[in-house]
Structure 1
């Protein structure tokens, strides 16, 4: 399967416009969609004075039941980066994106003279509870065209699957995607919506579920132990959650943690976080 990953430029370095100047690249890993209430990396970058080119990933459109392996998925992210040719100075990762930040840094450390700095923002691995929560958010986008039977069928399947013995994150995501397509296509037909809109919805949702579920095939712990985490005050987010659940075991999770009063959704729009990131990048 051809995995096509692209990157959006959040800001270009001033050096990139100077003849003979070298560019510095910083990668941002997060799945950001229009209308999401949580702040994204575009808001953080707008508050930074650091002169570099910042790229934000657009993960490939691939279904969670495609059989794609997590390493191949990550390699597709790196193809445009390597083609660009500039050294990657740092990798940022927000929430589950912190898992991908670690994987990208591991790969880049093999081909660069110096491994990129890794900054983690409320880092956490994928769990089935995460997928269930995010599925509910996306499914809610269809609320205006759903009938009571649609909602009952979907909610019942969401809860039934998560209780199946031996259920994995990958299988859970794949089966939720199947449910979403079945119910959604029925609702689209009933509402008379065109196929183009449906195709956009399926592409967005399949990309998002794959982004969440493929992270379960990556182990970020070694890289996290050399990284800096910037944590919100959210009790159920990032390292705060992991300490409570013990998902990654006991002991240290990162090399250094810097805590902020901002909530999870406001972490990337916090001026205090931006000031700290700027200082970390100057080291």
Structure 2
């Protein structure tokens, strides 16, 4: 019996049994294309689900395996045969972990990674600083922004691990962003929405740091963008050796990977294997 998911968004639904699961933290309006845009270009007839973060507030203290268990339970309860697991950028870590678990009860599906990347502690701090500066620049003075960035560094200095770091930075987001958004004319839930999204994303990044990607990606097919320093290009040459099973080099820039008709054709071809 096939059931509707509770931890995934259904991006495309077909009557057949085949399922493609995509791991990403999709946010409307981000510069990089989303899985929704990729699905619009795919011709393969299969149901497509995309992972959803836990309800706001539930993510606190959740490790990477707890995230994966939540999604995998949803997939197994859904009763469909998984044809492929896709991962985009840092979502590739979760895609690899989901692929490992799904392969325990069915034949291993394809594992397709688009510009795979692995989060680390420094990335969490850098993202907090860069994102807040870009978001707050129209709302706060230069001095106020510098104080926020320094507060983030102070949290980093005290946090024992990435999850504790995400908790502290998330609390800063909830403290600083709503008043700044209200200054910009946002009222009600709009003034708190950005803080919630950023806090949730920071936890999602932090939880992914617990995985060793090498065993998770060993069977993967990686589509590498044409953007320098992204995807596999971000890894040291020694780390890249044997990291994935196959690399397909694309000319498409990182931000356009999932809105490219050419990339969609490559994925369609892989799904027909």
Hey, what does 1:35 align to over in structure 2? Answer: 29
Cα distance in 1, alignment partners of residues 109 and 138 from structure 2: 45
Cα distance in 1, alignment partners of residues 248 and 160 from structure 2: 35
Tell me whether 202-211 or 273-282 shows the greater mean CA deviation. Answer: 202-211
Correspondence for 1:170 among 158, 163, 185: 163
Q: Hey, which bits of structure 1, 4+ residues long, moved more than 6 A?
A: none
Cα distance in 1, alignment partners of residues 111 and 33 from structure 2: 19
Cα distance in 1, alignment partners of residues 111 and 173 from structure 2: 35
Specify the SS of the correspondent of 2:145: helix
Specify the SS of the correspondent of 1:230: strand
Specify the SS of the correspondent of 1:173: helix
Cα distance in 2, alignment partners of residues 83 and 182 from structure 1: 38
Cα distance in 2, alignment partners of residues 44 and 240 from structure 1: 22
Structure 1: tracts of 5 or more residues without a match? 17-21
Q: Check 1:94–1:192 CA distance in 2 against 1; reply closer, same or farther (3 A cut).
A: closer
Specify the SS of the correspondent of 1:145: coil
Mapped contact 2:44–2:268 kept (Cα < 8 A): yes
Hey, what does 2:260 align to over in structure 1? Answer: 270
Residue correspondence of structure 1 range 109-148 to structure 2 within 5 A: 109-112=103-106, 114-136=107-129, 138-139=131-132, 140-148=134-142
TM-score, structure 1 as length reference = 0.84
The superposition leaves residues 151-200 of structure 1 with CA deviations (integer Å, 9 ceiling, x where unpaired) of 121122334555x4986433332222222222224435666754523443
Specify the SS of the correspondent of 1:217: coil
Specify the SS of the correspondent of 1:253: coil
Mapped contact 2:63–2:207 kept (Cα < 8 A): yes
Tell me whether 169-178 or 210-219 shows the greater mean CA deviation. Answer: 169-178
Hey, what does 1:92 align to over in structure 2? Answer: 86
Mapped contact 2:159–2:165 kept (Cα < 8 A): no
Q: Check 1:191–1:11 CA distance in 2 against 1; reply closer, same or farther (3 A cut).
A: closer
Hey, what does 1:257 align to over in structure 2? Answer: 247
RMSD, aligned CA: 2.6
Q: Residue 238 in 1 paired to residue 223 in 2? A: no
TM-score, structure 2 as length reference = 0.87
